């Protein structure tokens, strides 16, 4: 990635894959009480339909993401649309919105879980 333009803005698809596997395996997601979005550096949003699970194989995940980003489907298990981050945050109106970003406050999943479950 060092040789690519804007290398510092490019994410790690392998980390996105692992994060998706973890997020979609939670009871919260499986009960339909959490939604999953991926926002890319080009303001493309991938919105996963409720209870959609990503492929467990990274190679299959990579191929699915490549196909999805090329075809830009507006319906189906993974919808895509153009939307800046500010617009996505407005669209995700809810009691609690959690975003993972290098610009955010440093934390770990255990602390985040405690904060989200505290009343």
- Inform me whether the pLDDT recorded for 86 exceeds 90: no
Provide φ and ψ at 78, rounded to 5°. -130, 110
Q: pTM above the 0.75 mark?
A: no
End-to-end CA distance of the chain: 42
- Inform me whether the pLDDT recorded for 101 exceeds 80: no
What's the pLDDT at 5?
A: 73
In Å, what is the CA distance from 39 to each residue of 27, 43, 84, 118? 23, 6, 8, 27
How is residue 43 written in tokens? 């303001």
Q: 66 or 115, which is more confident? A: 66
| Domain segments of the chain as ranges | 10-89
Which one is the CATH code of 10-89: 3.40.50.970, 3.40.718.10, 3.40.1280.10, 3.90.550.10? 3.40.1280.10
- Inform me whether the pLDDT recorded for 1 exceeds 60: no
């Amino acid at each position: 990635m060092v040789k690519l333009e804007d290398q510092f803005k490019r994410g790690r698809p392998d980390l996105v894959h692992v994060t998706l596997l973890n997020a979609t395996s939670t009871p919260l997601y499986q009960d339909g009480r959490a939604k999953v979005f991926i926002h890319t550096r080009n303001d493309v949003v991938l919105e996963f339909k409720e209870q959609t699970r990503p492929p467990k194989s990274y190679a299959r995940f990579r191929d699915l993401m490549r196909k999805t980003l090329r075809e830009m489907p507006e319906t189906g298990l993974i919808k895509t649309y153009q939307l800046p981050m500010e617009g996505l945050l407005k669209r995700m109106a809810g009691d609690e919105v959690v975003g993972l970003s290098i610009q955010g406050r440093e934390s770990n999943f255990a602390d985040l879980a405690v904060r989200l479950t505290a009343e």
